[in-house]
Amino acid sequence: MKFNLFLPTGFGSDLSSFSDPVDAVERIIQLARTAESVGFSEVWLPDHLQTIPPSNGYLFEAWTLLTAVARATTRIRVGQLVTGNGYRNPALQAKMASTLDVLSAGRLTFGIGAGWYQADYDAFGYEFPGAGRRLRELREAVQVIQSLWTDEVSNFTGEFYSLKNAYVQPKGVQTPRIPLMIAGGGEKVTLRIVAEFADVCNLMASPADIERKLQILRKHAADVGRDVRSIKVSATTGALITDTDDAARAQLHPSMGAFYPGDFASYLLYGTPDTVRERVAAYEKAGVDELVVGFHHSTDPEAIRTFAKTVGLRSDFLRRT
């Protein structure tokens, strides 16, 4: 199983200790470089326009920041977890992604979702339709994006989006195209869209629930004639390594339930090194290929190094030799 780093951008007020935005963004780049050096495979960052809850704290725009991260690193892959479809026209996002893939020398995984944080939409004057429409928009959007990455000229007429003799060049570096990740665990619609179009899915759930959702994904894949083995499975989790499990559990907050369903204290990577390794093994047994780790102390490079030692990641030097 591979390990990815979830980078802070300020969304969770995780940059509140910084009084200089230049220092804050330099720390984010340092975190990405640290992850690269100790053997992480990818860095991801969220795409939001307002902090949660809304505040006047620092919050960096995702695409711009990810470009800086890509140019400041050399090996590690980069991606959004995930870009909000409602914030930008999908054709524009396809063009932005193709440029970023070139700037990263072919290290982009394009992550997209239907969007969920209404404060983003309200603050910036975007319409926030119901979940059903947002998912229909997402389904069209990924078709638009993939067409622009693969077809010489793209034409598309849908309920929400259209293309007329649209060209995108360069289309990026990767072949046959930039990998596309869709986040979300909705069992009737989102996982169906994953089965139809995604190269990677991302779930935020317990290992047991992930295993159940993957059974549903297999059925959707069979229904659309897709080999489910062609879809990588990633899961997002949180981590805090302490001397005792009780010390780690004391740092958990009920508000985390907005992101991690169920009894998250029983499956997040919070605890002693032995507990963390056991819970990593549970994710792997459930079918997870890549684990995206967000650290409790999200701006501390030492948290990344400690985790790498705990799970046995090899340094970049060792990976190359």
pLDDT of residue 317: 39
pLDDT of residue 131: 97
How do strand 77-80 and strand 2-6 relate by DSSP bridges? unpaired
Contacts of 42 (CB under 8 A, 6+ apart): 2, 4, 5, 76, 77, 78, 79, 109, 290, 292
pLDDT at 319 over 60: no
pLDDT at 113 over 60: yes
Average pLDDT in the 226-245 region? 98
pLDDT of residue 136: 98
**Tens-place pLDDT, residues 141-199:** 999 999 999 999 999 999 999 999 999 999 999 999 999 999 999 999 999 999 999 99
**Tens-place pLDDT, residues 18-77:** 999 999 999 999 999 999 999 999 999 999 999 999 999 999 999 999 999 999 999 999
Alpha carbons 229 and 254: distance in angstroms, whole number: 35
As a whole-number percent, the residues of the chain with pLDDT over 70 amount to: 98
pLDDT at 321 over 80: no
| Nearest alpha carbon to residue 95 among 144, 156, 25 | 144
Q: What is the mean pLDDT of the chain?
A: 96
Q: How many helices (H) and strands (E) does the chain have?
A: 11, 12
Average pLDDT in the 284-306 region? 98
**Tens-place pLDDT, residues 197-225:** 999 999 999 999 999 999 999 999 999 99
- Half-sphere exposure of 241 toward its Cβ, with a 13 Å CA cutoff? 19
Confidence of residue 316 (pLDDT cuts 50, 70, 90): very low
pLDDT of residue 315: 62
**Tens-place pLDDT, residues 243-264:** 999 999 999 999 999 999 999 9
Would you say 116 and 185 are in contact if contact means Cβ atoms under 8 Å apart?
no
pLDDT of residue 301: 98
Confidence of residue 314 (pLDDT cuts 50, 70, 90): confident
Burial class (CB in 10 A: 0-12, 13-18, 19+), 23: exposed
Q: What is the maximal distance between C-alpha atoms in the chain?
A: 61
Reply yes or no: is the peptide bond before residue 54 cis, omega within 30 of 0. Answer: no
pLDDT of residue 5: 98
Helices (H), the chain: 21-38, 62-72, 90-103, 118-124, 131-150, 190-197, 207-223, 245-249, 273-286, 301-311, 316-320
